[in-house]
Structure 1
Amino acid sequence: MSEAADPAEVEHDKDEGRWRFKPRGLHITWSSNTSYWKMPEKGTDGPAELMAVCWLEIDGSTSEPLSKGKGYALSFKISMTKQDSVWKEGPVFMLAKVGKKGIAKWEKINLGDMRIGNIIEIPYGKLRFEVPKKAEDTRLYFGLYELWTGKWKEGLQIHEAVVEEMPD
């Protein structure tokens, strides 16, 4: 069904408080089936390319806890290889949740007007969240989803996901 996220494909800069998730560092549902996804070679910076799925589910999590009381931002860098009308019919949803039992912060994103070939960062302005000072579990769980239209979609490329500490 899916390959497990490869921790070697996640770069963590502790001094900057920044994580960079290459496509193989994310859990992409159906990624092990080449009819659904074309994955980049291990250790490269190439994108994961969506061939065709009706269930878009991309998840990630930080391997180490985030700092309590600090603000962070999540973004994905994506592009399109072709126009697909399905992206106009249903938005994708991005969510970030601190701790498995935390409250999810989410953003609804319309991909229907993207130009082919342009690499963009979504959401515009990044999805910002704060780690509660009293949180027990401060790992970040995040994802990008489109599960609700039930329609086959294609053409999306995932270049990376980035989690970064924001200045006070």
Structure 2
Amino acid sequence: MSEAADPGEVEYDEDTGRWRFKPRGLNITWSGTEGYWKMPEKGTDGPAELVQVCWLEIKGSTPKPLSKGERYGLSFKISMAEDKFGWKEAPGFMMAKVGKKGIAKWARINLEDVQRDHEMKVPLGKLRFEVSKKAQDTTLYFGFYEMWSGGWKGGLRIHEAVVEKMPD
């Protein structure tokens, strides 16, 4: 179904509080099946390219807890292949929640508007959230999804996911 996320494909910059998840550092459903995804070589910066799926589910979590009382932003760097299809009636959705029992924040992404072969960060302005000073579980759980349309889609490229501290 999917390959487990490789912790070696997640980078953390302690000075900036920025996490970078390469495609192999994410849990991508069906990524272990070549007919659905083309995955980059381990240790490279290449994107994961969606061949075709009707169930898009990309998940991740921070290997270490986030800092209490801080504000963060989540973004994915994506692009579309020349032969993209199926996105007209199928927007993507991004989700972020702090702690397994946290309240999810969502952003709707219109993937039909993503230009071919042009890398961009979504959502515009990042999906922003705050870690409560009282939170007990400060692990971030996040994802990128499209599973509700039931239609086949392809051509999406996932270059990275980034979680970073936001200035006040």
TM-score range, shorter chain: over 0.9
Sequence identity (%) = 71
Distance apart, 1:88 and its partner CA:
1.4
1:60-75 equivalent positions in 2, closer than 5 A = 60-75=60-75
Runs of 4+ in 1 over 4 A off after TM superposition: none
RMSD: 0.8
Secondary structure of the residue aligned to 1:89 is coil
1:59 corresponds to which residue? 59
1:2-151 equivalent positions in 2, closer than 5 A = 2-151=2-151
Distance apart, 1:15 and its partner CA:
1.6
Contact 2:84 2:156 in 1 (8 A): no
2:167 corresponds to which residue? 167
Measured in 2, the distance between the counterparts of 1:163 and 1:113 equals 24
Measured in 2, the distance between the counterparts of 1:32 and 1:129 equals 31
Moved more, 107-116 or 151-160: 107-116
- What TM-score does the superposition give when structure 2 sets the normalisation length? 0.98
Secondary structure of the residue aligned to 1:118 is coil
Distance apart, 1:84 and its partner CA:
3.9
Distance apart, 1:83 and its partner CA:
4.9
- In terms of fraction of residues, the more strand-rich structure is 2
- What TM-score does the superposition give when structure 1 sets the normalisation length? 0.98
Measured in 2, the distance between the counterparts of 1:31 and 1:83 equals 19
Secondary structure of the residue aligned to 1:155 is strand
Q: Structure 1: which 5+ runs fail to align? A: none
